[in-house]
Structure 1
């Protein structure tokens, strides 16, 4: 860690939170959904080793859904037509597989529900009391549904999710565009804002956007890899950032 770890987040004007794995443990829901979808698909092709948790962190984590599909398939030397976002989930295209994964995600979310990390809510409470603006920046098109399921949708006046990114033609992480858009919506300069991410691609996006501070939350990606991707600070739980 650097001396920047001593910087209190409430000295900044805004904190931009990723959702899955940062505010809520929906990364686990996504991981199960990706595993079910990809392994069923690989089984249908035959001759491929199974999709693993490491594949999730290496190729999928933090990226827009179709980018994650494309990245993983490329790692296995598989090429599919792009298709369109309207492709049904049974169509064998990049978009079709992405939509297939979304069906699995919705099933798991509906069955199991989701609760926010207590340490993360503790930090959000602290920031709100300090007058620091907050936003959610997520590649997921399900962000609002997840926030609503966790009971925290109304805590975030700005949400830049996969739907907003598509509407505004914003490049996904590791490009910084979605974070920069959220900062702009909050009327805050990037160097006065903090990015909080658990994904390597998200941390890289924060660094590429020249934000004032990039906080990595180690939910499995690895502290060293988060720092290598651009994190100034790495914590295991966001409650660690709340001053006693």
Structure 2
């Protein structure tokens, strides 16, 4: 596998394997979207995901990764990322739940996240979901060979801040391949004083805006994983894995 400035460049065969890994993630996320409703526990979602991985013959990428104990990150309302599934966390009307999931297929990782409304949500909550999802798409549009990595960051930041939402800075997107997290890091804001890197064909990137109704400040709960907004306002999270190609960005985790 070739490297450019410490970043692995994937060939067509490797991108093909990653396309299948990400397709399977999107299938599971579709399945979960059909069952998310008031009265469902986040552990119910975990069990569905585990069973789907068994059926597909793939390994959940997150389970055991750096000690994380579950296949899914289920983050409800003010939880940003890395929430634990739980029998006691019952989804209620008006909640939002972010599901982040990965699988390993033939040695390569897929990774994608979506935030789902539970039943009917308020207009303000729906706006948060819509802006976060659209900011991801605007970031992806900039993932072209020859662009700077921070063109992705700027597109996300400009769109989110135009709606006066906050952008989480503690957690960022990342390269992905044989490892779940590879270089480069992909912030959802433009870091001051850093040059960024030129995007090259063969890079595979997991772009993942995390957007809040309040400030960007974060706390991690006593389980040492679950990250929440410090002001306890709502947070949404969307993620796609994309390949940088000569024709432009190719979304591998599209449904």
TM-score class, shorter:
under 0.3
Q: What TM-score results when the alignment is normalised by the length of structure 2?
A: 0.27
Q: What TM-score results when the alignment is normalised by the length of structure 1?
A: 0.27
The structure whose residues are more often helix, as a share, is 1
The structure whose residues are more often strand, as a share, is 2
